[in-house]
Structure 1
């Protein structure tokens, strides 16, 4: 084992990618700093409940219980060998120092770094529909957090809608937990999914799980509809029903909660503040930070791993986290297992075909922007509608996302574009007649997420921006 005492890398994120990166660094004699927003490591996919929680791993994670247990055991086994800092939000970065907010104490401090592994994960990709701001409407990820972390459901009669593998997984988890799942409404067509089968069979175990979820739901009486168009969610003080169109006819289904989403989007704000170069990735329909096959970003000393650099799933995140750590070590003269690194690269490359199959099975609804009415709220933080975005394009000739942001304040609220950025880009692309790849992306701004204003130094440019 080769030890380099002066090398103490920092890892941001303690999901599958961050945990495997930390494990690899520790195995080579290093003591990395691991900064994570959650109280307990595991990430979203393997989110851990509070220590006193009574539900078993099998109940929480289903078919992924063994993988979740392995990841949790890995981080638990590292205690004392890593500097793990939970409940900590990296909200800004400058001069190779991370600004970190420690939630429980509401204090902020800086963490210097020389080498940094960014494993920030992903969030829901949202395309608004009328009524999406009603109480009782959640993203799929939010519905899953409630079940895993808090042991509660978002409602007693729930509709799940949108598209992507997560749609069926969350519906299965809710139904398995005893919640009445009124229906699963998938915008993807069954023909799309059938055509994708050859590509999906490249990962037969993962494909089999998906088939099992669908079969289980059908066997337990859950109505599954494909090729639908979500029309609206309606109610008074909270959502009471969902209206969707199928084969040219509208249908209404009563419910008291909705979980919806269109797969996932990468959390890229930190990579942006670090100065990483971005490029449009057609497979992900998003601008993503560039990285080479080994995990190096365009910024020396900064490595990218997991879904924060492109949605590839939990297994790929583990491989990418380990690979990024091996790359970091090799770049700094530490002897590593080169054959292992090559195998990890090969596994990740092989997964690309399967990932393309998922996009074919659950395609992005490219007609969404054309069907979005002018009164549809796109940015709920600033209450900006699709019509306001279109008028800004028509009146000013805005054809780039940051110009549109300056004119309308879209993406300037608490979510910093996490909820509205995808939808706003689609509206802009449709209004200008340009491909979404050409309208740009919302640039990351500090603070990445909301923090108490009294914690921002008075002489900081960020303070001036927040108080202006």
Structure 2
């Protein structure tokens, strides 16, 4: 058996959760291995620009600039001091039996570990509408990455559509950068948003910042809309057809559309590592099953938005809690977790209120026409998916085998939730009864040369 102080700990992800987990382990005398897909640590929320990028943190991160700089500084200090074994630009491909493989800048590499902390974050949650497969239609996260990393607005006349805080945030950031936005279309109604407000007051400062950002959007913002289709030509979008809260039809001319309905937890690696999942009605998605500290089982821990969609501040807390649980399980001294658990409870109340205020548009997804592309990787339409349900029944993996939905490059990350809605609608079952797609390795695309080299 490995002595507690000699156990090898691997952290996957260097966003807020992964950085705070690493910091806590380093404080206890542990030198963790940190594997991250980014060029630099910070995650999506605090993504860092390339070397020589002129914009200041206040311009990049707004009111979150101090938090971003603090996290960057902590991590860079640990790297410079040799307190962590850091592997940037590295994607974990598979996990099995205290062993993982990652694609690094120098090729495929094997890592062994005694304990594993997954801080994999979240990604855009997308819903299909006719025309969304066209070039020039991006996720809100992609629009934000282009703005943060390169100072680029992905269009000269932009329409942003979806729901959730990210919609308001990206719109505000683009407007501040001088981009021309034609409309901001929110599928959440004012009534839904008002219903979530009491719970959101668990974080009044955050609510105030959100309201101030919303005020800056002015008449560009429309709530309670229904998205009908994106009109396109050979170059991409030319207009978005939508109906307002009163049912009146509109067509807004554009050359770029950004879509997003809050976030979905990135759980591919958690599934490969053996996590169990429960369907969470609040977030309308499958989420990993852990204890309050993020402990899945002996030697496996989850933290951040890959566990619960609670935001960057909560991710820092969850990272500390996961590392604290890890230290306790190793028999090492660990800080008292009471205050962090209390703080995490407050963040969760706020996040559940956000989910209520900006719900996933399940009814809109179920009503998409048969010709609508659902799986953009494989070109599977809603009609093909519905037909597969008729032949194979209402189970997600069976439908996948028949229709190929979820078999493409993204492995269902973009289409699984919408596909489940369509399966449930056709089979007349609850969404959770359709089940979830089983994870398959490799979790990320891998150059064929990496396998040929082994052969």
User: Residue 289 of structure 2 aligns with which residue?
Assistant: 290
Show CA shifts across 1:158-193 (max 9, x none): 111000110000000000001011111000001111
Aligned-partner SS, 2:269: helix
Tell me how far 1:117 sits from its aligned partner: 0.2
Q: Distance in 2 between matches of 1:150 and 1:440?
A: 39
RMSD: 1.4
Q: Distance in 1 between matches of 2:58 and 2:242?
A: 34
User: Residue 223 of structure 2 aligns with which residue?
Assistant: 226
Is structure 2 residue 359 aligned with structure 1 residue 360? no
Query: Which moves more between the two structures, 348-357 or 110-119?
Result: 348-357
Q: 1:434 to 1:253 in 2, by over 3 A?
A: same
Show CA shifts across 1:109-158 (max 9, x none): 10001100000001111101111111111000010010011211111211
User: Residue 251 of structure 2 aligns with which residue?
Assistant: 252
Task: Note the 1:206-225 alignment, pairs <5 A.
Answer: 206-218=206-218, 222-225=219-222
Tell me how far 1:306 sits from its aligned partner: 0.3
Is structure 2 residue 93 aligned with structure 1 residue 97? no
Show CA shifts across 1:201-226 (max 9, x none): 110111111101101222xxx51100
- 8 Å CA contact 1:369–1:430 kept in 2: the answer is no
Q: Distance in 1 between matches of 2:379 and 2:196?
A: 38
Q: Distance in 1 between matches of 2:430 and 2:139?
A: 26
TM normalised by structure 1 equals: 0.94
- 8 Å CA contact 1:125–1:265 kept in 2: the answer is yes
Show CA shifts across 1:404-427 (max 9, x none): 101111100011001111111110
Q: Distance in 1 between matches of 2:356 and 2:283?
A: 12
Aligned-partner SS, 1:78: helix
User: Residue 276 of structure 1 aligns with which residue?
Assistant: 275
Is structure 2 residue 419 aligned with structure 1 residue 417? no
Q: Distance in 2 between matches of 1:296 and 1:203?
A: 26
Tell me how far 1:369 sits from its aligned partner: 3.1
Aligned-partner SS, 2:191: helix
Task: Note the 1:54-453 alignment, pairs <5 A.
Answer: 54-79=54-79, 80-102=82-104, 104-105=105-106, 107-218=107-218, 222-236=219-233, 237-246=235-244, 247-297=246-296, 299-338=297-336, 341-396=337-392, 398-453=393-448
Tell me how far 1:458 sits from its aligned partner: 8.4
User: Residue 30 of structure 1 aligns with which residue?
Assistant: 30
Unaligned segments of structure 2, at least 5 residues? none
Show CA shifts across 1:353-374 (max 9, x none): 2112111211111212332100
Aligned-partner SS, 2:342: helix
Q: Distance in 2 between matches of 1:342 and 1:319?
A: 11
Q: Distance in 2 between matches of 1:47 and 1:11?
A: 18
Query: Which moves more between the two structures, 276-285 or 407-416?
Result: 276-285
- 8 Å CA contact 1:4–1:30 kept in 2: the answer is no
Q: Distance in 2 between matches of 1:458 and 1:323?
A: 40
Q: Distance in 2 between matches of 1:187 and 1:390?
A: 24
Aligned-partner SS, 1:456: helix
Q: Distance in 2 between matches of 1:367 and 1:283?
A: 15
Show CA shifts across 1:31-79 (max 9, x none): 1000000110000000011121111111111111111111111111111
Tell me how far 1:352 sits from its aligned partner: 2.1
Aligned-partner SS, 1:225: strand
Tell me how far 1:22 sits from its aligned partner: 0.4
Tell me how far 1:457 sits from its aligned partner: 6.5
Aligned-partner SS, 2:321: helix
- 8 Å CA contact 1:91–1:100 kept in 2: the answer is yes
Q: Distance in 2 between matches of 1:31 and 1:457?
A: 34
Aligned-partner SS, 1:61: helix
Show CA shifts across 1:273-308 (max 9, x none): 1111111122221111111001101x3200000000
Tell me how far 1:262 sits from its aligned partner: 0.7
Q: Distance in 2 between matches of 1:304 and 1:395?
A: 38
Show CA shifts across 1:360-417 (max 9, x none): 2111112123321000000011110000011111133x21110110111110001100
Q: 1:458 to 1:401 in 2, by over 3 A?
A: farther
